[in-house]
């Protein structure tokens, strides 16, 4: 427990943090990678270049400082980050490295304000937070290890199938090299890969959404090729059927848990359909009784992943309703057959169908897409407790 004096000092630094903004975390990452270059094999450097990781860390640091007297309000953020950390196989000793560079960053950017008293308060505050993360992450590691088919650390999996799902998305079916069972997961969670190859400058950890329901035998992930994406291009161009990949257990705080009589609406933009497909797979395989709505938006038919699969499921299940938007249909894309509407997703076109008592809404896709979905549904009176979304990469609030 932090004493009141420490809490007051940390809260007093909030204006300083706000004035520094992401310069604080940008400086932090620069000095940490300079002094501990081995951590370049842990962090996604692409998110450093885009600025998303420094921005996400700054948001987390500021939220902690503002709520240090009531950390319970940060429980959802702690769970999300802890789940991510287990996908990077974060170790307790690495928290000491991060803490050192955080304190040194405060000293270097605000030498006048960084009195011994302030540094000591932040050291205690960071130590308390680190203990929370270390404890929760150990619980997750132990939970993964104790599951039927579970394990700790990395495990070798063989690429059994590699299949193009669209011109940008490829799915990989992975089976354990040891021939054993694999741990179940909740639909919406992701699989963690540890990529280590002479073709890569650094070791890379990546999370890819699981896109089919758990079956205890294998995992299927889908990977979108990103322009300049180190890991995604490696997966598309270099990984072949028969290759072995190092895999960490499934993780993630975004998942679907609903009763059989709960209406479910799955909304996706682009590659955001991958976790939705796992949710749909589970709903249909378990004989979900209530209505299920599959709403998807993409560029055109060439980028419409899993199109045939979804159409077949629609024909086989009377309670599954689909609606697809193509932003710019190609000449060979057929209205009413391949897609239902042109342009961006417009929920007003399906409002009467998807606004149902007790329905839960799961959505994933580009940030502007998800912000639109949340804003529209909230405007129609859907409370936050029934809205669930996933941000690929560092978290951002909508």
Active-site residue set: 95, 137
User: Does the annotation list 206 as a binding residue?
Assistant: yes
User: Does the annotation list 395 as a binding residue?
Assistant: no
Question: Would you state the structure tokens that stand for residue 339, as one six-digit string?
Answer: 């897609």
User: Does the annotation list 274 as a binding residue?
Assistant: yes
User: Does the annotation list 391 as a binding residue?
Assistant: yes
User: Does the annotation list 30 as a binding residue?
Assistant: no
User: Does the annotation list 275 as a binding residue?
Assistant: yes
User: Does the annotation list 394 as a binding residue?
Assistant: yes
User: Does the annotation list 51 as a binding residue?
Assistant: no
User: Does the annotation list 19 as a binding residue?
Assistant: no
User: Does the annotation list 392 as a binding residue?
Assistant: yes
User: Does the annotation list 393 as a binding residue?
Assistant: yes
User: Does the annotation list 272 as a binding residue?
Assistant: yes
From the annotation, which residues make up the binding site for FAD? 190, 206-209, 391-394
From the annotation, which residues make up the binding site? 85, 190, 206-209, 270-275, 391-394
From the annotation, which residues make up the binding site for heme b? 85
From the annotation, which residues make up the binding site for NADP(+)? 270-275
């Amino acid at each position: 427990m932090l004493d009141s004096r420490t809490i007051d000092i940390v809260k007093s630094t909030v204006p300083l943090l706000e004035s520094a903004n992401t310069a604080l975390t940008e400086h932090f990452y620069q000095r940490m990678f300079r002094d501990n270059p081995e951590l370049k094999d842990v962090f996604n450097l692409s998110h450093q270049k885009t600025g998303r990781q420094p921005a996400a860390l700054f948001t987390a640091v500021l939220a902690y400082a503002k709520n240090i007297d009531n950390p319970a309000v940060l429980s959802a953020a702690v769970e999300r980050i802890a789940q991510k950390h287990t996908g990077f196989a974060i170790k307790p000793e690495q928290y000491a490295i991060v803490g050192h560079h955080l304190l040194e960053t405060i000293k270097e950017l605000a030498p006048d304000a960084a009195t011994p008293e302030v540094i000591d308060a932040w050291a205690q505050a960071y130590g308390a937070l680190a203990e929370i993360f270390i404890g929760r992450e150990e619980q997750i590691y132990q939970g993964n290890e104790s599951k039927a088919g579970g394990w700790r650390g990395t495990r070798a999996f063989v690429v059994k199938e590699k299949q193009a799902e669209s011109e940008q998305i490829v799915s990989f079916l992975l089976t354990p090299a040891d021939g054993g069972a694999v741990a179940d997961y909740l639909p919406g969670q992701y699989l963690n890969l540890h990529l280590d190859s002479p073709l890569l400058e650094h070791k890379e950890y990546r999370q890819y959404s699981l896109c089919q329901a758990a079956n205890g035998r294998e995992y299927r992930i889908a990977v979108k090729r990103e322009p300049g994406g180190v890991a995604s291009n490696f997966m598309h161009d270099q990984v072949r059927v028969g290759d072995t990949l190092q895999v960490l257990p499934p993780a993630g705080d975004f998942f679907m848990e609903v009763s059989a009589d709960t209406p479910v609406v799955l909304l996706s933009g682009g590659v955001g359909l991958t976790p939705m497909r796992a949710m749909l797979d589970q709903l249909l395989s378990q004989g979900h009784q209530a209505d299920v709505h599959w709403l998807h938006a993409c560029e055109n038919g060439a980028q419409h992943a899993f199109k045939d699969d979804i159409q077949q499921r629609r024909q086989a299940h009377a309670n599954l309703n689909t609606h697809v938007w193509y932003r710019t249909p190609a000449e060979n894309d057929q209205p009413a057959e391949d897609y239902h509407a042109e342009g961006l997703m417009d929920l007003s076109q399906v409002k009467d169908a998807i606004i149902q008592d007790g329905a839960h809404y799961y959505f994933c896709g580009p940030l502007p897409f998800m912000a639109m979905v949340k804003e529209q549904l909230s405007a129609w009176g859907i409370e936050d407790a029934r809205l669930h979304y996933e941000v690929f990469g560092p978290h951002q609030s909508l």
